[in-house]
Amino acid sequence: MTPLTDLGSAQYLGFAGGLYPNGKNSRPSAYEEAGVALGAAVRPVDRDGKPSFSGKIVTLCIGMSNASCEFSQFIRLADADARKNPNLLMIDAARNGADAIQIADPCGDYWMHLDRQLQRCEVTTAQVQVVWLKTALAHETRGFPENARLLQRELRSIVEFLRTKFPQLKLVYVSSRAYGGYSESDLSPEPIAYESAFAVKWLIEERINSPSPDRSIPWVSWGPYLWADGLTPRSDGLLWERSDFEPDGAHPSAQGALKVATKLFEFFETDPSAQHWFISRPR
């Protein structure tokens, strides 16, 4: 298994690599421009979603327990950095045991959990403008590509519900699982963890190729791509050690969560669609 970022136009079981179409790791120019424009439109809003100098830019983490551990570390990392936009409020709304099928159910209790998180932070759904989504299928037994196609469908359902629930939502960044080769259970071991990235890739390609204008918002793109083949470094040096995971081999340790949090910070700091709202600029 070769990381999608290194696989390029080569194939895994008949399907090309790369994060974006045609084996590329960069977005098509028109899609990039759309994301940059929406990122530039993100601004502090009040509880009614109206622009306000003292308002908030709410960024939500939606997903499973791994995402919760990682985003909690990311919040601490970002809050300690003076460059972070002071109007930015990051909320961990991920939940232990919340797999993609549960999150995709608009009537499920995951969304009651999310509403409680918003209430706790004294913000409304009208203030949510950015989402980092990271989830997977639990205890998956299907082979490839059926497993990835199912996850793609669930991710699509989640994004469509997000558009309904958060009227100001502009940007959705999606990440797939990190390495699963140390897993001691059937909770997304390899090659399922690796193959989950194809679901994200296909979801985004679907959005890129859609001619329907009403599907352009929210704009959906990759967040940081986190998979590497254990101790084999990928081209940018990322690797996963056993100590990056808890004893079950599936959940990140504090060390592993910090590794993801750092990748997430670097992504928001440098991505053209995120720089405008993530980094504070002199007024």
Range(s) of the domain holding residue 199: 4-278
pLDDT above 60 (res 205): yes
Is residue 185 in some structural domain? yes
Confidence category of residue 214, pLDDT binned at 50, 70, 90:
low
pLDDT tens, residue by residue, 89-119: 999 999 998 999 999 999 999 999 999 999 9
Tell which residue, 260, 144, 250, has the closest CA to residue 195: 144
Name the residue with higher pLDDT: 214 or 28. Answer: 28
d(CA 216, CA 41) in angstroms, rounded, equals 14
Where b means 16+ CB within 10 Å and e means fewer, 30-60 reads ebbebbbebbeebebbbeebeeeeebbbbbb
User: Using an 8 Å Cβ cutoff, are 59 and 133 in contact?
Assistant: no
Confidence category of residue 213, pLDDT binned at 50, 70, 90:
low
Name the residue with higher pLDDT: 201 or 188. Answer: 201
- Chain-centroid distance of CA 217 in Å reads 16
- Chain-centroid distance of CA 181 in Å reads 21
Indicate which CATH number applies to the domain containing 136.
3.40.50.1110
Q: pLDDT value at position 22?
A: 94
d(CA 246, CA 249) in angstroms, rounded, equals 5
- Alpha-carbon distance values, 278 to 23, 65, 81, 147, 159 (Å): 29, 24, 11, 34, 22
Tell me how many domains the chain contains.
1
Is residue 283 in some structural domain? no
d(CA 161, CA 15) in angstroms, rounded, equals 28
d(CA 198, CA 203) in angstroms, rounded, equals 8
Element (H, E) at 152: helix 146-165
Confidence category of residue 212, pLDDT binned at 50, 70, 90:
low
pLDDT above 50 (res 56): yes
Tell which residue, 261, 255, 267, has the closest CA to residue 221: 267
Is residue 183 in some structural domain? yes
- Which whole number is the average pLDDT over 215-241? 94
Cβ neighbors of 200 (< 8 A, separation 6 or more) are 152, 155, 174, 175, 176, 222
d(CA 3, CA 261) in angstroms, rounded, equals 19
Q: pLDDT value at position 88?
A: 97
Is residue 138 in some structural domain? yes
Is residue 126 in some structural domain? yes
- Which whole number is the average pLDDT over 28-51? 96
pLDDT above 50 (res 283): no
pLDDT above 90 (res 218): yes
Is residue 12 in some structural domain? yes
Residue identified by tokens 């990392």 is 77
- Which whole number is the average pLDDT over 182-198? 91
Q: pLDDT value at position 282?
A: 41
- Which whole number is the average pLDDT over 77-84? 95
pLDDT tens, residue by residue, 163-179: 999 999 999 999 999 99
Is residue 34 in some structural domain? yes
Give the mean pLDDT of the chain.
94
Name the residue type at position 105. Answer: D
- Which whole number is the average pLDDT over 146-165? 96
Confidence category of residue 186, pLDDT binned at 50, 70, 90:
confident
Is residue 179 in some structural domain? yes
Q: pLDDT value at position 185?
A: 82
